[in-house]
Amino acid sequence: MQEDFSTVHKSFGRALTKNPKLIYRFYEIFTASHPDIAPFFKNTDFDRQVSLLRQGLNMALLFAEGKKTGEMVINKIRETHNRSGFNVPPRLYPYWVSSLIQAISESDPQFNPDLERQWRKALQKAVDHIKGGY
- The mean pLDDT of the chain is 96
Q: Exposed, middle or buried: residue 86 (CB in 10 Å: 0-12, 13-18, 19+)? A: exposed
CA dihedral 18, 23, 29, 31 (to 10 degrees): -170
pLDDT at position 1 over 70: no
**Exposure on the CB side of residue 128, measured as CA atoms within 13 A:** 8
25 contacts 19 by C-beta, under 8 angstroms: yes
The pLDDT tens digits for 27-82 are: 999 999 999 999 999 999 999 999 999 999 999 999 999 999 999 999 999 999 99
pLDDT of residue 3: 86
The pTM score is 0.94
